[in-house]
Structure formats: C-alpha cells, structure tokens
Chains A and B, each alone.
Chain A
Amino acid sequence: MTIASVPGTLPQELPDQAQPQLWTNVRYWLGNWKLTIGLIMIVGLTSFSIIGSLIVDFDRTKVASADFNLRPSAEYPLGTDNVGRDIWALMIHGIHPSLKVGLIAGVIGTLLGVILGIVGGYYGGWLDTVISTTADIFLTIPSLLILIVLASYIRTTTIEFTALVIAIFAWAGPTRLMRAQTLSLRERAFIPLAKLSGQNDFEIAIKQILPNLLPYVMAGFVGAVSGAILSLVGIQVLGLGPLFTPNLGMILQAAYLGAAIFRGMWWWWIPPTATLMVIFIGLFLISIALDELANPRLRERAK
C-alpha cells in the first residue's frame, strides 16, 4: 500500500512525520509518467474548454450563424457544419459539458460504490449477498440499452438530467471494486486491533478501511467517469441525448447524420473523434497508473 500510514495501528512510530511523508508521496506519484501524462491530457482539455468558453462567443455555436459547409479558414479555424455552426466554437463550448456529465455520474457512482462496497464487504451476510448480486446483475445488463429505452420515453433535455440517468448504472463497477478490497482489508491484523482499542464498526469503516481504499476509490472514480462519457456519447449517436447544449456527442451525431465522412468534411468529424480519444486515453492512463500505485506487483513489472 502506497499511502503508507495505517492509522491507529502504530501511533508511536508516526509522530510528526506526516508532512515530509506527504511530499514524498506527491513526488513519487508524479514520478509515474502515465499519471502525469493522463493528468496533463484531462486537465489541459478541461482548462482549454473552460477558458476558451470565456473568450469565444457562444453565439457562434448557433444554427445559421455562418455560411454552411465552409472549409477551415482564418475566420473559422475548423470550418462550419451543414447548418452553419462554427465547429471551433462548438468544440470549445462542447468539451466541458461532456466532461461535466462524466463528473456528475462519476461522483454519484463512486459515492454509492464506496458506501455499498464497504457495507457489503465489512458486514457480510445477507446484506452483502443482496448488494453484490445486484451489482453483478447491473454490470451484466447492457446499460446502454436500458438507457436507450429510458431516453426514448423521457427525451432528456438538460445535461444534468442526462447525467443523473447515466448514474443509475454508474455505481455497480465501483461497488464491486470496493467490496473486493474491503473483503481483503477486513482480514488484516489492524482491524481486530482497532476493535480491541474500542473503535466501533462505524469508526473502523471511516478511520481504518476508507483511508486504505483511497487508491481504489480514485481508480473506481476514473473508471466511472470514463464509463459515463462512453454511455453519454453512445446515447447521443443514436439521437437521444441533450441536443441544446453543445457537446461532443451532439457534434458527432450531427456529423454522422450529415454524412460528414462521405462528403469529405474531415473538419467536421475528426475534431470530436480525436478529442474523445484524448479524453478516453487520458482517463485510461490515469486509471492504470492508479492501479500500479495501488498494486506493487504490477508496478515492478511496469518499469
């Protein structure tokens, strides 16, 4: 375990080393190139989009704000689409809403996953059977299909609502991960020790198990964010997403319906495709880096 301190077990050996140790950890984590590159990709895209939104006029994302099907030029760096929207402006205003959906669904999914995973893994019994079976079933049901049924009845209009809908399926993966880790943590020596020192179950869950789960919580979160964005774009390519806020899935769907590929309008379909790839690869790099940091065996091999 990389976040080395096991709280409560050896208090006399950890007097006031907390500060230097934190620094060592930060330096050590940034020393992992996958984490660094992944973070640069995601943070870079996010800040590019947010800062750009303040500079580039939102009106340029509106229909007929320009001529149709223009090639890239100085005025329109990525040209325009078949209804006269500036693709450069669409991209800048469209990246952060897509990431926001991932963030909302990811936070909800991870929070539920941590709570359900710890409860199931720590208490066991019938509660654990119910939680883990339900999580397994939600993992096996093709979430996209249920989301499609849902979205075709309730035509979602806002980004936030779509995120909530996607969160229905975002909890199962993190729950499974947290439960498995809690199960193995429960067997460690410091849990009975904490019990002997008078901590109750709730305190043990918060003070002993949760800190040790942190790397997995982060890995689960990154996975949930990536899964949510994947679902979002999937729903949108089928024409069922929020259509009024510019976002990557919407641009991609418009390019698909507008036969951008067959009309040779590369400036229309390449930007959303490439950006989505950067997002998915960035999140993936972060998650395998977190995996390596949490699992020393993989780390040795990865050098």
Chain B
Amino acid sequence: MSIQYVLRRLGIFFLIIWVASTLNFIIPRLAPGDPIGAILGQMQTQGATVANSAEIIATFRERFGLDDPLYIQYGKYLWSLARFDLGYSIAFFPAKVTDIVGNALPYTIGLLTVTTLITFSMGIFAGALLVWHATPRLAKIVITFFMMLAPIPYYLLAIIFVSVLAFSLGIFPYSGIVSVGRLPSQGFDLSYILDVLYHSTLPALSIIIAGVGGWILGMRGMMVTVLGEDYLTLAEAKGLRERRIFFAYAMRNAMLPQFTGLAISLGYVVSGATIVELIFSYPGMGYRLFQAISTNDFPVIQGITFFLVVSIAVAILVIDLIYPKLDPRITYNRR
C-alpha cells in the first residue's frame, strides 16, 4: 500500500473530524445571547437560585476565555479536543464529559458493530440471490419483501417491535440493558452477558431489519451489471460449477463497490441507532444524548457528538485501508 494512499486517507480522517468539530464550535456562537448566561439562566429556571450571577458570568467568561478573540477561542477549542478534554457536565456537575461518554460508548459501539456486520453480510448475500437465476421463487419473494422495508426508518420499526414483541406478546424486555436492579458488580459472568444479549436483541433486530433492505437494493443493482459482463459468459462456457460462478465470479465482483457504500452509510446508521436507543432506553450514546438534551447539558451534547464522529471516522479509515487489499484493481490513488 503506497504511502500516498495512506496519507490521503488520513487526510480525509482528520477532515471529517475537523469539519464536525468546527460546526460544533460555530453553532453555539450563532445562538443569540452568550452561552454562559444561557446556561445560568437555565439553571435558574430549573429552580436553582444563582446569587450574584453577573459576577459568576464574568468569572466564567474569563475562565473559558470567552473574552478572547474568536480565532484564539477556536485554537484553544481544537487543542482541548485534540487532548480529549471536553470539560464537565452541567447536569451532573463534578462528572467529566469524557467519563459519561466513556460509560455509554461501549454499548453503542458494540450494538453498532454487530448490527452493521450482520446487516451488511445478510444484505449483500440476499441482494445477490435476488437476481441470480437459480434462486427459488419463494426466496425471491421473501427477499423482495425485506427490500421493500428499506425506506422505513429504524425508529418506526423499533416502535412497532416495542408494541408487538415487548408489550403485547411480552417475549422481549422493552427497556434497559440488564434486568432491573442487576449490577455488573454482582457477578460479571455468563448469565450477566446473556442478560445483556437478551436486552439488546430488540434494538439490534430493529436496526438489522430496517437496514438490510438498503443493502439488498444496492447489491441487486451492482449484480445486474456484473451478470452482464463477458467474463461470466466465459465462466459458464468453461463449464464451471454454478456455485463457483455465483460466489467467486458474480458476487465477489458485485460486492466490492458496496464497501464504499458501507463507509458512506455509517453516519446514517449512527443517526438512526441514536433514536432506537432512546426508544428502548438502551444506555448507549443516543439515550445519554436525549438525557443531555432534556437537561440542556451542552458539554455532554457536544462531547457525544464529537465521540460519535470520531468513531465513524475511525471506521471509515479502517474500511478505506482494507479496501485496496480486497480489490487489487483499485489503484492506490483512488479518489
């Protein structure tokens, strides 16, 4: 892998994080009024009497450097992000934003990694089967049905699952990550892990079923193109076995462009999963985000956004670095 390619990918990695962080920097400053005053005002409306708030505002402005010119504030902001220093939560004051995020991140990353892998592999396999001539008719009907679910947002499916599978039938729990009152300190063993898996099933299922259609659709399009290629006719003429033509010739070539799609779709998946977590009270980033929004906890809102963007950028970097290994035709200076 050439150095140039790696450097270019690293460049994209930092660009994604930089653009998102910069948006995060600009947006609060577009809001009318000053942020500290707004936060104190919210604390007051929530019942806390803040004595001599004018003094506090002045102190805070100095402490956070809000009297500095904008470019110095911006420099300081980027420097603190680079050190993962995101300050303190307002709602849970002594708690650091990084600790709150750190507690929630593993749940979200776990849920997203597992569901994305399952959705992706199921989607491309089903999509390839959909246009393959030897697929049984019944299978094609089932696959088409799942393909038609593609436009349905994750959260709508999650609502339906909560209603039918959790509430009406009671097969699955409808909230939380473990049974009520259970703590990891009481024994982190197999039964604890099974409990976590049991509670994660419905959120995962919503993401998988709502997501698989998009991959089927994309793979179907690519497969149609590949099936028209001359080397498939040649493979048939050589008398290769059907199975081999399907996997090694058609599917292998059609699935390659899907990896680029995977990188692009991650942002969408994360957005969708955020709300699924909320609906299932799954204690990941999305649920914390909702809590932070309801308590106007701006540092936590920004911290969660920042860490999710970093996670996505890392995933994209990994996909981009693996991609040339999978597809030797791609020159290393792919744009």
Contact = CB atoms under 8 A, between A and B. Distances in A.
A283 interface: yes
A136 interface: yes
A153 B27 contact: yes
A144 interface: yes
Contact of B20 (A141, A252, A256): A141
Contacts of B326: none
B71 interface: no
Given A145-B305, A261-B163, A297-B228, A140 B267 contact: yes
Contacts of A280: 151-153, 156
Given A136-B264, A140-B266, A149 B131 contact: no
A277 interface: yes
Contact of B159 (A136, A154, A269): A269
B268 interface: yes
Contacts of A191: none
B321 to A, nearest CB: 16
Interface residues of B, number: 60
Chain A interface bracket (under 10, 10 to 19, 20 to 34, 35 or more) = 35 or more
A64 interface: no
Interface of B: 12, 15-16, 19-20, 23-24, 27-28, 30-32, 131, 148, 150-153, 155-156, 159-160, 162-163, 167, 174, 217, 220-221, 224-225, 228, 263-264, 266-268, 270-272, 274-275, 278-279, 289-290, 293-294, 296, 298, 301-302, 304-305, 308-309, 312-313, 316, 335
A238 B290 contact: yes
A203 to B, nearest CB: 29
6 contacts: A134-B19, A139-B267, A146-B23, A240-B293, A276-B153, A277-B156
Interface stretch (A4-12, A15-23, A207-215, A229-237): A229-237
A144 B274 contact: yes
Contacts of A145: 270-271, 274, 289, 304-305, 308-309
A239 interface: yes
Contact of B156 (A129, A240, A276, A301): A276
A141 B310 CA distance: 10
A215 to B, nearest CB: 15
Nearest to B302: A149
Given A144-B272, A226-B151, A234-B275, 13 more contacts: A137-B15, A141-B19, A144-B270, A144-B275, A145-B289, A150-B27, A234-B155, A237-B155, A240-B293, A252-B159, A262-B167, A266-B163, A301-B220
Contacts of B293: 148, 152, 238-240
Main DSSP-derived SS at the B contact region: helix
A154 B305 contact: no
Interface in A277-301: 277, 280-281, 283-284, 288, 291, 295, 297-298, 301
Interface of A: 129, 132-134, 136-146, 148-150, 152-154, 226, 230-231, 233-234, 237-240, 252, 256, 261-262, 266, 269, 273, 276-277, 280-281, 283-284, 288, 291, 295, 297-298, 301
A91 B257 CA distance: 41
Most chain A CB neighbours (cut-off 10 Å) among B267, B294, B301: B267
A277 B150 CA distance: 11
A133 B9 CA distance: 12
Contacts of B148: 281, 284
